[in-house]
Amino acid sequence: MMNLRKSSTYLIILLCTISILIAGCADQQQNEDNNINENDTQAKIVEIAQTFGPSDSLDPSSRWVGWYVREAGLYETLFSYDENMEMIPELATGYEAINDTAWQIILRENVTFHDGTPMTSEAVVYSINRVRDPDNTRSSQYDFIENIEALDDYTVLITTEKPYAPAIASLTDPIVSIVNPEATDLAVSPSGTGPYAFESFEPGIELVVKKNNNYWSGKPQLDAAVFNYVSDPVTRSLKLEGGDVQIADGIPPAEVARLDAKDDIKIHNEETMRTGFMYVNTRKAPLDDIHVRQAINHAINREQVIDAALEGVGGSPAVGVFPSLFSWSANEQLDPYEHNPEKALEMFRQAGIEDVDGDGTLDYGGEAFSLNIKTYASRPEMKPAAEAMAAQFQEIGIESEAIILESGALSADMSDGNYDLGLYAWGVAPTGDPDYFLSQHFASDSKYAGWTGYSNEDVDEWLKMGRTTMDNDKRLEYYNNVQREVFEECPEIFVFYYRKTVGTSDEVQGFTIYPNEITFLTEDVRLE
């Protein structure tokens, strides 16, 4: 007769062995489901030439890396925006404002990370707290959160220190992408919930992603995608034309007409939420004079900038901060600065800037009046736009030059006040809320008001009220006030609204340009 204790021991060993084998098979199946079959000649793999990409880390909570890894389809947020800038639920299914300082968020069930780990409220709390960590360089953007807790597996409660109207909108920023708490090193091995899973990464060169067969919204149409990071815009165009890539981001305006004439290439050109504008160094005389800043506005021929520098396809003339497609734009209440050189010269004269010796050059303080425009070249439209405006300034007697710098050097000059005008292009409402840009640029204690030297107590109060008022009609009034005031005082000069241009081969279907430029590769993109 078999010893009962031995029999129990054998049974336990057998069960454990079976469990291990089952778990191993499950893990193997999960990996096989997401593997790229390199021997499959029918594999649908798209090559993409992308303008910008991560330089080292792939962790979405690091600086602006979240934008790049979301574009690659690796990560998702609780809420996002569709192609019409309408907020939609993503990893959440909805939310409820319990009161002015408490938000309850209901999560989508049956969502897994790329390794098969379930996505629950624990992951949401973990992901947001990583950004709230004081060591995170962007933690101040989430310091409105007093506490975040998991009420159950699929319910999260966010409590704010005071009423904060943009709370839900802030959860669409890719920096708060929901990550796998079980991942060992997100900087080198991403683990998200997106339609594509991580395959490999070569910093500054390429990022390869593969189909996530277990994606909650249905299987992606591609087997894999290769993001080739190509900084030169002409090279991106040539790669598309030569068939090396099937999607090329940031087609330079000068190449659009030529490529669009080809039967096997399609050009996508859409309005975005990106504004091209110039910071004005208001700490520097005579730029500290509002009339001088307004005169500069009148000296700019925005239509000419669009036509000459952006080939008529890269943008449209700007009025205020926000493009008119944005529901929070106050453009209808603003009287655009018309191009009027005579008016500009008269305003300059009233500020003590005029040609005193008849040499055709305006003088100020006994010296030639100069306005240099500093910008960067990584966006193809920036250099020609700066050069076009410099030429316009020269036409009315202002010594002017477009100075092209590397982004880091430009930022250092801006921070140090070593500039006259600084031309940038910002996504002004990536989270779909007006407070994102307005508070960062025009609140007296903000980083970018530090660049311009701008301070206005009324603006500070309107911004405060806009953030803490829950009634959207009242919020609109406050933010319209801000837009009107900064339009009048010109601490920043708005030049153009950016139109994004992407070229695709005729075999690419399902590609859409999103106005906030956060979403790029989706499960709907396919090759036919």
Q: What is the CATH number of the domain that holds 375?
A: 3.10.105.10
**92 located within any domain:** yes
CATH number at residue 52: 3.40.190.10
pLDDT at residue 24 is higher than 80: no
Angle value at C-alpha 434, between 105 and 477, nearest 5 degrees: 105
Distance (Å, whole) CA 127 – CA 226: 27
**150 located within any domain:** yes
DSSP 3: -
- Asked if 117 and 179 count as a contact pair (C-beta separation under 8 A), the reply is no
465 and 374 both lie in a single domain? yes
Assign 22 a pLDDT band (cuts: 50, 70, 90): very low
When computed from its CA atoms, the radius of gyration of the chain, rounded to whole angstroms, is 27
| pTM, to two decimals | 0.89
Q: Write the pLDDT tens digit of every residue in 92-102.
A: 999 999 999 99
Least confident of 14-28, 107-121, 361-375: 14-28
Assign 380 a pLDDT band (cuts: 50, 70, 90): confident
**5 located within any domain:** no
**What pLDDT does 40 receive?**
63
185 and 215 both lie in a single domain? yes
**What pLDDT does 35 receive?**
59
Closest to 161 measured CA to CA, from 147, 175, 173: 147
Element of type H or E holding 265: strand 265-280
Distance (Å, whole) CA 45 – CA 320: 42
pLDDT at residue 30 is higher than 80: no
**303 located within any domain:** yes
522 and 375 both lie in a single domain? no
Assign 37 a pLDDT band (cuts: 50, 70, 90): low
Q: Write the pLDDT tens digit of every residue in 319-356.
A: 999 999 999 999 999 999 999 999 999 999 999 999 99
495 and 515 both lie in a single domain? no
Q: How many domains does the chain have?
A: 2
161 and 296 both lie in a single domain? no
Question: Which tokens sit at 417?
Answer: 């006040």
**28 located within any domain:** no
241 and 276 both lie in a single domain? no
445 and 381 both lie in a single domain? yes
**200 located within any domain:** yes
70 and 180 both lie in a single domain? yes
228 and 276 both lie in a single domain? no
Distance (Å, whole) CA 380 – CA 386: 11
**213 located within any domain:** yes
- Asked if 405 and 374 count as a contact pair (C-beta separation under 8 A), the reply is yes
**What pLDDT does 39 receive?**
54
**What pLDDT does 32 receive?**
47
DSSP 108: P
**398 located within any domain:** yes
**What pLDDT does 308 receive?**
86
Question: Which tokens sit at 70?
Answer: 């979301």
455 and 517 both lie in a single domain? no
pLDDT at residue 439 is higher than 50: yes
Closest to 215 measured CA to CA, from 241, 191, 234, 197: 197
Range of the domain at 209: 46-246+507-527
For tokens 């005071």, the residue is 162
The residues, ordered by sequence, that sit 6+ positions from 17 with a Cβ below 8 Å of its Cβ are none
405 and 479 both lie in a single domain? yes
pLDDT at residue 50 is higher than 60: yes
305 and 186 both lie in a single domain? no
- Asked if 145 and 173 count as a contact pair (C-beta separation under 8 A), the reply is no
Q: Write the pLDDT tens digit of every residue in 493-528.
A: 999 999 999 999 999 999 999 999 999 999 999 999
- Asked if 510 and 525 count as a contact pair (C-beta separation under 8 A), the reply is yes
User: What rounded mean pLDDT belongs to the chain?
Assistant: 93
What secondary structure does DSSP assign to 29-60, as a single string?
Answer: HHHHHH---TT-TT--EEEEEES---SS---T
